[in-house]
Structure 1
């Protein structure tokens, strides 16, 4: 099983993974970026996932597309070799509300290990729209912009 297949398997339900599973797909010096923060190294990525796992009841990814880049696109520190489109379904332990979010991940693979991971998604849709007053305001603004 290649690293992309292992990546897809792990992300099927990340609440079922262990830190060892992360070592099977990410390099020791992985650069992992999402709209919230940047994690450098497998230790920081493990801490990030450990924190997520304490808060999430479930977190599943439905991977819709995997594109292999025919020409390596230069990114901040790595070459992007794959682009993955997904839908995440997240249920937090302290809130039974289900959050569904579409996103895209750029991956840089070297050999059979991921050295670069960058997520793109709407942070407002994931976080801000679920804060009672702030969510109401953001949804109103989006509605006005859509007109």
Structure 2
């Protein structure tokens, strides 16, 4: 879907996440409503202030975090958006780039009031921590 067909709030969200950094956190209020409900495999947050703290915590030592967006499926005040996140953190995978595919379900009016991310948490974290990575690989190999 081209940007002309997307609601402006979705285009703003893509611009925000494209090169995510600590410097962008101050502009979260331009995207998300004060009573945002944000859900991912790790957290379930209510409100803009907890979301800001969550992002600050995630990004404080991250070397970079970039999103590339794929398909956008629009409904009345809803959007499902596929993405690929690429990031580097010195404590994960020896600082090498980690790539995670995911999809977000967004509900919005003039701002986003519901954001739920779906992705493989082990691909994001567990596979890149030495002992957990070994265990995760063994478990995955045993299920094949």
* TM tier relative to shorter chain: 0.7 to 0.9
Residues 47-70 of structure 1: per-residue CA shift (max 9 Å, x gap): 111112212110111111111136
Structure 1: state its 5+ residue gaps. 71-79
1:119 maps to what in 2? 117
CA distance in 1: counterparts of 2:125 and 2:22, whole angstroms: 23
RMSD: 1.7
CA distance in 1: counterparts of 2:80 and 2:98, whole angstroms: 23
1:91 maps to what in 2? 88
List aligned pairs for 1:1-147, cutoff 5 A.
2-15=8-21, 17-69=23-75, 81-94=78-91, 95-110=94-109, 112-146=110-144
Residues 64-93 of structure 1: per-residue CA shift (max 9 Å, x gap): 1111136xxxxxxxxx71001000001014
Deviation at 1:17, TM superposition (A): 4.1
| Higher share of residues assigned helix | 2
- How many residue pairs are counted as aligned between the two chains? 136
| Higher share of residues assigned strand | 1
2:4 maps to what in 1? none
Confirm or deny: 8 A CA contact 2:29 2:48 kept in the other structure. yes
For normalisation by structure 2, the TM-score amounts to 0.87
CA distance in 2: counterparts of 1:31 and 1:53, whole angstroms: 20
Structure 1 stretches of 4+ with a deviation exceeding 6 A read none
Structure 2: state its 5+ residue gaps. 1-6
